Amino acid sequence: MPVKRWHAELAWLGGDTVAEQVLLEVEADRFLRVTPGSQPPADAVRLPGLTIPGLVNAHSHAFHRALRGHTHYGAGDFWAWRRQMYAVADQLRPDSYLALARAVYAEMALAGITTVGEFHYLHHAPGGVGYDDANAMGVALVAAAAEAGIRISLLDTCYLQADVEGSALSGPQLRFGDGDVAGWAARVAGLPAAARGIAPMTARVGAAIHSVRAVPADGLAEVSAVATGLAGPLHLHLSEQPAENAACLAATGRTPAALCAEHGVLGGRTTAVHATHLSAADVCLLGSSATAVCLCPTTERDLADGIGPSAALRAAGSALCLGSDSHAAIDLLEEARAVELDERLASLRRGTHPASVLLTAATAGGADALGWPEAGRLVPGALADFATIRMDSVRTAGADPGTAMAMATFAAGAADVTNVVVGGLTIVSDGESRRLHQVGRALAEAIRPLWS
Amino acid sequence: MPVKRWHAELAWLGGDTVAEQVLLEVEADRFLRVTPGSQPPADAVRLPGLTIPGLVNAHSHAFHRALRGHTHYGAGDFWAWRRQMYAVADQLRPDSYLALARAVYAEMALAGITTVGEFHYLHHAPGGVGYDDANAMGVALVAAAAEAGIRISLLDTCYLQADVEGSALSGPQLRFGDGDVAGWAARVAGLPAAARGIAPMTARVGAAIHSVRAVPADGLAEVSAVATGLAGPLHLHLSEQPAENAACLAATGRTPAALCAEHGVLGGRTTAVHATHLSAADVCLLGSSATAVCLCPTTERDLADGIGPSAALRAAGSALCLGSDSHAAIDLLEEARAVELDERLASLRRGTHPASVLLTAATAGGADALGWPEAGRLVPGALADFATIRMDSVRTAGADPGTAMAMATFAAGAADVTNVVVGGLTIVSDGESRRLHQVGRALAEAIRPLWS
């Protein structure tokens, strides 16, 4: 089998420093050797700048990209925003969702993202009628990722009721429902084979609980068991909003984290998304159970969610990962620095989360949370997913080997990503997608009909 | 005199909406006519995307650009960061500062910035020895802006003592000092003619009080009088840090805002920079005196300054403007949205500052604060300074005329600026500087010696 070679001027191999002159040798879709201090062989693709493991976007709702720029008129809160989001959700069909998600995942690829976790609850046709292929919408998402060239963990999301009191779904929410947990599980059972059929090497299936609002307490353990059966990750939205906590406490006498703990939802293969409004006891429950936490700071800024206890969660034992969630921005480097910068705003201290912690969250942390533990690292045997950030743009100029990691984390952005490889295949070079031409136009064409 | 024409697909002419198909006609350095709904004449330069008044960066310390990416190792607070900043300040000479500032201002031009307010206190040689030309460092900054093609308000900054108790300057601070206010005023008296000699149309001179730490209370009125004599603006750092407030209260029994009010510093030609840690009474003093406030949110994130009372200040009567200050980022659109997004994090509400308010702060607000009231507006008679933001990048795709303003404010970045005109002269086209080639390289070459 031929060995492909790339030669990185600088590469982050983990820890607090970067290596220079790193030869990356790839056989099939994995790293064969990773060798710092190497001269570049004649056949190697040269990668000026800093090469890092491919970024992992651990929390995405692909269709929210259509909302970018459209929700900033008038005042309002999360719940007002949600009404607009539902109006867009109501428009989508398998073909239009494929077109939109393909463009969104291509935007992710351009930002250096090589794996996405898609938190998918738009299962059925409007009104809740099933498509002929009950997984037509999920299949569209898997196909979209394959066409854009990135890996996907499709986190099929159980969404059964409108609130923690068990009110029935109605209106746009009808599309999300499967009746009961058994109905959801029966549909999901068909997904792994469908995903393998489309993208055998780059798609995996996991499960999600939308939130403690959307799944009755006595169904939480059953969803968790399905995730175990899939050998996939389990994700859930947790304590994004104070109102969610208040409703859960009123209905169950428990915080969402405590309710989840009681029903066996927490643990090392579980990721709590947001985890913004937590009590000290909640932090202990998440940390002591090794539940991962997915922070989505640009969304948390956009939706006025607040600043979560990222430092306390890390100290308690939760691994961190990152998501662009509502896609107000698709820029994992911005997400990474926002964790530290928003912590600075809250604590008035610098340096709580060093660059190595933030980049780990953006790479290995996300890979672990999405069920790709063999990704997110530049080591022999790992999946050959990597992204290169230029260090000669106006944003990044001034870095040296000792500061390139911090420059990438605190100053670079999606526009500085030049080259992206997934499983040994180049999907972005010279800052252009090699899978989808004119990604901006593709986005515009997919979004325009949703607002007309 | 020939009339030059540009034709904007969309243009923001103020208020909450954008106009379509706008013909911008320029005679000499001013707008002659601004005509929405026009067909493009054959000789017009076409501007696809959204054209806005040139962005105004109302608070800059050009040399801080050299610190980007270099200050994120280890923990620390503002004062630890300041030690690193002083180490860089100590390296600069007039020639090296010209090279650095020229590249920094070219980076600003690429971000759509057409006017910078340079808060300048690096006056003398190391140790405090005067250069043969006492204004050699200020002259270098004016020349740098002229060479990069942007306007500058050089805010010559009075910096006389190390703390509010009146401790003498020492070490790297010696370069900042002029002995006393009279010494500072005597030096500054030579600046307007020097600036006119270099850039008669694009440079103006104003004054600044570094902070209540750095100028004794009995000198505040005198600095203010010099600003009046220059017919220029007066700026000062105000309540960026809790420690500054505590020291001022202990030494004077006043908050910095109250001390400034008492000494006649506040008023309609004064701009308070940061204004982060204010009492309710401070907010009233600033607002009721029509003192403008310059927010620098990416710096306030970076330096762990905290979130200032932007909503209360607006309500009290302060006009807002924006600065990139420490240049952790040079992206006025990011500064603009950060005002609203950080307010969302603090208040858990969306929509406090609409896009029109944020864009006004980034344009006319800054122009007013820097003594260019005839800039920052796309109206006949105003200075022909404008910038165009593409609406077809992966970041901005999906906008329509109704949402382009919000897309520019909440999703676009410096990398989306395609075309920039200052006084009727194109300084950026196709996203490239027409004044300085390879701006990234120029930055790297100017910064490298400062760390070696």
Min distance A185 CA to chain B CA atoms (Å) = 35
Contact A150, A115 (CB under 8 A): yes
Q: How confident is the model at residue A75 (pLDDT cuts 50, 70, 90)?
A: low
A434 at the B interface (CB within 8 A)? no
Cβ of A66 within 8 Å of Cβ of B398? The answer is yes
**In DSSP terms, which residues pair with A157 in a beta bridge?**
A208
Q: How many CB pairs under 8 A join A and B?
A: 199
| Residue B78 and residue B414 in contact, taking contact as beta carbons nearer than 8 Å | no
- The Cβ-side half-sphere exposure at A147, using a 13 Å CA radius, reads 17
CA separation for the pair B34, B12 (Å, rounded):
11
Cα gap A370→A24, rounded to integer Å: 24
- Distance in Å, alpha carbon of A442 to nearest chain B alpha carbon: 9
- Judged against a pLDDT cut of 70, whether residue B360 lies above it is answered with yes
Helix H or strand E encompassing B202: none
- CA–CA distance, B124 with B187 (Å, rounded to integer): 11
Kindly state the tokens that stand for B304.
């762990």
* Mutation for B interface: A350, A407, A439, A443, most B CBs within 10 A: A350
CB atoms < 10 A from the CB of A254, how many?
17
Residue B236 has a CB neighbour count (10 Å cut-off) of 31
Does the pLDDT value for residue A425 go beyond 80?
A: yes
Please list every residue in chain A whose beta carbon sits closer than 8 Å to the beta carbon of residue B82: none
B237 touches chain A (CB under 8 A): no
Return the structure tokens found at B354. 């609409």
Q: Taking CB atoms and an 8 Å limit, are B354 and A439 in contact across chains?
A: no
Instruction: Using CA coordinates, name the residue in chain B closest to A105.
Output: B394
Q: Could you tell me which residues come within 8 angstroms of residue B181 by beta carbon, excluding any fewer than 6 positions away?
A: B158, B160, B215, B219, B222, B223, B226
pLDDT, position A404: 97
For A169, phi then psi, to 5°, come to: -65, 150
Under 8 Å between Cβ of B353 and B340: yes
For A246, phi and psi rounded to 5 degrees? -60, -45
| Candidate from A70, A342, A398 with C-beta closest to B68 | A398
Q: How far is CA B14 from the centre of its chain?
A: 20
Taking the C-alpha atoms of residue A13 and residue A413, their distance in angstroms, rounded to an integer, is 20
Residues, chain B: 452
Reported confidence tier of residue A356, pLDDT bands at 50, 70, 90: very high
C-beta separation of B293 from B275 below 8 A? yes
Minimum mean pLDDT among A77-86, A258-267, B112-121, B426-435: which range? A77-86
pLDDT of residue B82: 87
Nearest by CB to residue B341, choosing from A77, A301, A439, is A301
The torsion angles phi and psi of A433, rounded to 5 degrees, stand at -65, 135
Q: Which helix (H) or strand (E) covers residue A394, if one does?
A: none
CB-based contact B271:B292 (threshold 8 Å): yes
Segment A357-394, tens digit of pLDDT = 999 999 999 999 999 999 999 999 999 999 999 999 99
B328 touches chain A (CB under 8 A): yes
Residue in chain B closest to A433 (alpha carbons) equals B394
Angle between helices A94-110 and A136-148 (to 10 degrees): 30
Residues forming beta bridges with residue A292, ordered by sequence position: A271
Q: Buried b vs exposed e over B88-108: b needs ≥16 C-beta within 10 Å? A: bbbbbebeebbbbbbbbbbbb
d(CA A135, CA A207): 14
Interface residue B30 vs chain A (CB under 8 A): no
Q: What angle do CA A216, A220, A223 make, to 5 degrees?
A: 120
- DSSP 8-state code for residue B319: P
Chain A CB contacts of B395 below 8 Å: 329-330, 414-415
What lies within 8 Å, CB to CB, of A218 at 6+ separation is none
Q: Which of B445, B375, B439, B393 has its CA nearest to residue B55?
A: B375
What is the identity of the amino acid at A375?
Answer: A
Residues of A in contact with B73 (CB under 8 A): 351, 354, 406
> Which residue of chain A comes nearest to B341, CA vs CA?
A301
**Among B residues 330-349, those touching chain A with beta carbons less than 8 Å apart:** 330, 341-342, 344-345, 347-349
For chain A, say whether B439 makes contact (Cβ under 8 Å): yes
* pLDDT tens digit sequence for B54-112: 999 999 999 999 999 998 877 667 787 888 889 899 999 999 999 999 999 999 999 99
A 42-81: CB under 8 A from B: 65-66, 68-70, 72-78, 80-81
Domain architecture of chain B: domains with CATH:
3-53+376-433 (2.30.40.10), 55-369 (3.20.20.140)
Rounded to the nearest 5 percent, the helix, strand and coil shares of chain B are 40, 20, 40
The answer, for A428 touching chain B at a CB cutoff of 8 Å, is no
Element (H, E) at A150: none
Q: Which of B395, B403, B409 sits opposite A70 (nearest CB)?
A: B403
pLDDT for A76 equals: 67
- Percent of chain B predicted with pLDDT > 90: 96
Contact list, B66 vs chain A (CB under 8 Å): 398
Q: Which residue has the tokens 């009746």?
A: A179
Nearest to B443 by CA among A413, A388, A430, A411: A411
A389 and B CB contact within 8 Å: no
Nearest-by-CA chain B residue for A302 = B341
Structure tokens at A357: 């912690």
Contact between chains at B398 and A448 (C-beta distance less than 8 A): yes
For residue B107, give how far its alpha carbon lies from the nearest alpha carbon of chain A (Å). Answer: 6
Rounded CA gap, B15 and B19, in Å? 10
The helix or strand, by DSSP H or E, that contains position B436, with its residue range, turns out to be none
Q: Does A451 touch chain B (CB under 8 A)?
A: yes
Residue B307 contacts A, CB cutoff 8 Å: yes
Instruction: Say whether A162 sits in a helix, a strand or coil.
Output: coil
Would you state the pLDDT for residue A201? Answer: 97
Name beta bridge partners: B271. B235, B292
pLDDT at A79: 80
Q: What is the pLDDT of residues A302-344, one digit of tens each?
A: 999 999 999 999 999 999 999 999 999 999 999 999 999 999 9
**Mean pLDDT, range B353-373, rounded to an integer:** 98
Residue of A nearest to B353 (CA): A75
Contact A72 B410 (CB under 8 A): yes
Interface of B with A in 407-426 (CB under 8 A): 407, 409-411, 413-415
Measured CA to CA in angstroms, residue A96 lies from A62, A63, A150, A439, B108 at distances of: 12, 10, 19, 16, 40
Position B128 scores a pLDDT of 95
Q: CA A172 to CA A126: how far, in whole Å? A: 7
Question: What are the beta bridge partners of residue A47?
Answer: A8
Q: In the prediction, which pLDDT does A252 show?
A: 96
Nearest residue to A145 via CA among A79, A219, A199: A199
Q: Is the separation of the CB atoms in A113 and A332 below 8 Å?
A: yes
Q: How is residue B76 annotated by DSSP?
A: B
Chain A positions touching B411 (Cβ under 8 A) are 68-69, 328-329
Contact call for A72 and B354, based on CB within 8 A: yes
- The residue of chain B nearest to residue A300, with distances taken between CA atoms, is B345
Give which of A102, A150, A95, A92 is closest to A443, Cα–Cα: A102
| CB interface of B with A, residues 175-234, below 8 Å | none
- Please answer yes or no on whether A394 and B345 come within 8 Å at the CB atom: no
Give burial (CB, 10 Å; 0-12/13-18/19+) of B72. buried
Question: Does the distance separating the beta carbons of A354 and B72 come in below 8 Å?
Answer: yes
The per-residue pLDDT of chain A, averaged, comes to 97
DSSP-assigned letters across all residues of B243-260: HHHHHHHHHHSS-HHHHH
Distance CA A412, CA A418 (A): 12
| B345: nearest CB among A307, A354, A394 | A307
Q: Which of B394, B441, B451 to mutate to test the interface with A (most CBs of A within 10 A)?
A: B394
Q: Which two tokens stand for residue A374?
A: 């063999």
DSSP states of B32-66: EEEETTPPPPTTSEEEEEEEEEPEEEEEE-GGGGG
Verify whether the Cβ–Cβ distance A414 to B403 is below 8 Å.
Answer: no
Asked if A354 lies within 8 A of B305 by C-beta distance, the reply is no
Answer for the pair A129, A174: CB distance below 8 angstroms, yes or no.
Answer: no
Contacts of A179 (CB under 8 A, 6+ apart): A160
3-state SS, residue A101: helix
What pLDDT, in 10s, does the model give residues B148-160? 999 999 999 999 9
Question: Of the candidates A132, A112, A126, which has an alpha carbon nearest to the alpha carbon of residue A334?
Answer: A112
Distance from the B54 Cα atom to the nearest Cα atom in chain A, whole angstroms = 19
CB contact under 8 A, A304 and B347: yes
Flag whether residue B397 sits within 8 Å of chain A, measured between CB atoms: yes
- Of the partner residues B76, B411, B414, the one whose CB lies closest to the CB of residue A351: B76
pLDDT for the residue numbered B76: 67
Contact (Cβ atoms closer than 8 angstroms) between residue B296 and residue B58: no
Q: Which helix (H) or strand (E) holds A3?
A: strand A3-11
Q: What is the largest CA-CA distance in chain A?
A: 67
